[in-house]
């Protein structure tokens, strides 16, 4: 089943985000390579694909996991969480309807 992982950033955590990004992307690439990643990306803090120093307010990942517990466990091990980038992470089942 698909699950959405919503990470909300700590304000002013851009430096920590940039430092942890390679490890964060490595895990996403592993999901992609396993055919389990539907979509992933950050939420820019301003209306721009490159927000510069404004940074980001969070991230959204939608991926396939065996269970809610497996998705939560994966999210709990995210390098952004360990680096103090995320102030909160929510994991929910996701049902794709469109397109």
| pLDDT tens column, 52-66 | 999 999 999 999 999
Amino acid 64: pLDDT: 98
What global pTM score does this model have?
0.95
Which of 84, 65, 83, 62 shows the shortest CA–CA distance to 73?
A: 65
Regions of the chain short of the pLDDT cut 70: none
Contact 18, 79 (CB under 8 A): no
User: How far is residue 47's CA from residue 60's CA, in Å, rounded to a whole number?
Assistant: 17
């Amino acid at each position: 089943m698909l699950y959405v992982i919503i990470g909300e950033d700590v304000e002013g955590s851009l430096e920590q985000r940039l430092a942890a990004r390679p490890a964060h992307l490595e895990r996403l690439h592993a999901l992609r390579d396993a055919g389990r990643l539907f979509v992933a990306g950050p939420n820019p803090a301003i209306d721009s694909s490159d927000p510069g120093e404004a940074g980001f307010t969070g991230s959204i990942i939608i991926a396939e996991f065996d269970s809610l517990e497996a998705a939560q466990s994966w999210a709990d091990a995210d390098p952004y969480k360990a680096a103090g980038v995320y102030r909160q992470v929510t994991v929910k089942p996701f049902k794709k309807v469109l397109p």
